Amino acid sequence: MEKPQTLLLFLVFLTIGASTVTASSLEHRHHVGGVLSKTKLFVFGDSYADTGNNVKSSASSWKVPYGISFPGRPSGRWSNGRVFTDYFASFLGIRSPIPYKWRKIGSKLIPFGMNFAYGGTGVFNTLVPEHNMTAQIDLFQQVISTGVYTKQDLKSSIVLASVAGNDYTTYNARNGSAKDLPAFITSVVGQLTLNLKRIYGLGVGKIAIAAIEPMGCLPELTALSSYTKCNETANAASNFHNVLLKQAVAKLNNDTKGSPFVFLDVYSAFMTVFNSEKQGKPKFKNVLKPCCLGTSSGYSCGSVDEIGAKKYTVCKNPGSAFFWDSVHPSQHGWRSVYSVLRPSLHKIFHNMKK
């Protein structure tokens, strides 16, 4: 991880006018398991979890062609459609919680919880000037202080937290050395652990923290091998992050009654999807190649030039791509990852069944 990587970040900087979408138009009831339908879901983290908090005027998630498959126009999701949060909510049998930003206009969705995730962010400040996870928890604390959620609401709620690598993107962009990377990873996981502890202290029931995905398999890095090979150096960094995180979760559970912390192995789920492509009937055209790409370097999915001409291409069938853009899974990608995780989710959340 020596060279600057753009990973989850660069997409966020581009600007274009965005269409509006109301919270209620995002309603969907696919895959509803009804496992825990009174549960509220609170979400923290980055673009893998954000469903609309990023600033409309500057985020690619609010530009065409984001959202073309669902809801049919940009909705602030970093995908052609649904993201992991949506599938996680459907597993719980609830609607995707309202982005914090819309809590006033979409107040009827408040009973499902709230999404505090902001694309481009990390546990530390990144190159994207949005709320880091600490600031997201501050927002949660403010919302709680208004009394909109009761103690019992919180106690039966579930938290989903995503840290998909913007801290590392920023480290690389600031020319952090390969030698110091392990220490930096340790500090990221250390801060994340403090965040999880603090969220628990606010009275929530269960906290699921997503493992980091195999960063070396993101198209941003596989482009160098024409989308044929994952970068093992970057995957080793992901693995180190995950080993530390898993240990931290074990320690948190050991120190807390009822083992409320859950390590969601998103890394293995991505790998299972990639590896299953090699066996039997592939689900994706080329699992490492994104659907939406900038036409040349300097452009990315959603880019337009000064006169408004498109500077990106979109594949014919977004449903055939695991990755939507250079760093984010497509809706079909997320659905596949979710399918792999589903049995373990059933096991983890079974004892909370009402």
Interface positions with ligand NAG (CB under 6 A): 1-3, 5, 124-125, 132, 134-135, 174-175, 191, 221, 224, 231, 233-234, 250-251, 254
What are residue 209's DSSP bridge partners? 161, 263
**Token pair for 35:** 């496992």
**Residue 353: what are its φ and ψ, rounded to 5°?**
-55, 135
The smaller minimum CB distance to ligand NAG, of residues 25 and 177, is found at 177
Distance (Å, whole) CA 264 – CA 105: 32
Could you tell me the smallest distance in angstroms from the CB atom of residue 224 to ligand NAG?
A: 5
Task: Respond yes or no: is residue 325 known to be catalytic.
Answer: yes
Q: How many helices (H) and strands (E) does the chain have?
A: 9, 8
The smaller minimum CB distance to ligand NAG, of residues 24 and 186, is found at 186
Could you tell me the smallest distance in angstroms from the CB atom of residue 251 to ligand NAG?
A: 5
The smaller minimum CB distance to ligand NAG, of residues 123 and 264, is found at 123
What are residue 208's DSSP bridge partners? 160, 262
Query: 157, 325, 326, 332: which one is catalytic?
Result: 325
**Token pair for 212:** 């980091």
Long-range contacts of 173-178 (CB under 8 A, 24+ apart): 173/4, 173/5, 173/6, 173/9, 173/127, 175/4, 177/2, 178/1, 178/2
Length of the chain in terms of residues written: 354
The smaller minimum CB distance to ligand NAG, of residues 133 and 321, is found at 133
Could you tell me the smallest distance in angstroms from the CB atom of residue 174 to ligand NAG?
A: 5
The smaller minimum CB distance to ligand NAG, of residues 23 and 230, is found at 230
- Of 326, 267, 336, the residue nearest 302 (C-alpha): 326
Q: What is the DSSP letter of 353?
A: -
The smaller minimum CB distance to ligand NAG, of residues 144 and 248, is found at 248
Query: 328, 330, 332, 336: which one is catalytic?
Result: 328
Give kind and range of the element (H or E) at residue 106: none
Could you tell me the smallest distance in angstroms from the CB atom of residue 335 to ligand NAG?
A: 28
**Token pair for 160:** 């989903």
Task: Respond yes or no: is residue 305 known to be catalytic.
Answer: no
Give kind and range of the element (H or E) at residue 208: strand 206-210
- Please say whether the beta carbons of 51 and 86 come within 8 A: yes
Could you tell me the smallest distance in angstroms from the CB atom of residue 139 to ligand NAG?
A: 12
Query: Would you call the peptide bond into 111 cis, given omega within 30 degrees of 0 as the criterion?
Result: no
Could you tell me the smallest distance in angstroms from the CB atom of residue 6 to ligand NAG?
A: 11
Report strand pairing: 158-161 vs 98-99. unpaired
Distance (Å, whole) CA 352 – CA 241: 29
**Residue 18: what are its φ and ψ, rounded to 5°?**
-120, 150
Task: Respond yes or no: is residue 46 known to be catalytic.
Answer: no
- Please say whether the beta carbons of 160 and 43 come within 8 A: yes
Could you tell me the smallest distance in angstroms from the CB atom of residue 223 to ligand NAG?
A: 9
The smaller minimum CB distance to ligand NAG, of residues 75 and 132, is found at 132
Task: Cite the active site residues.
Answer: 47, 325, 328
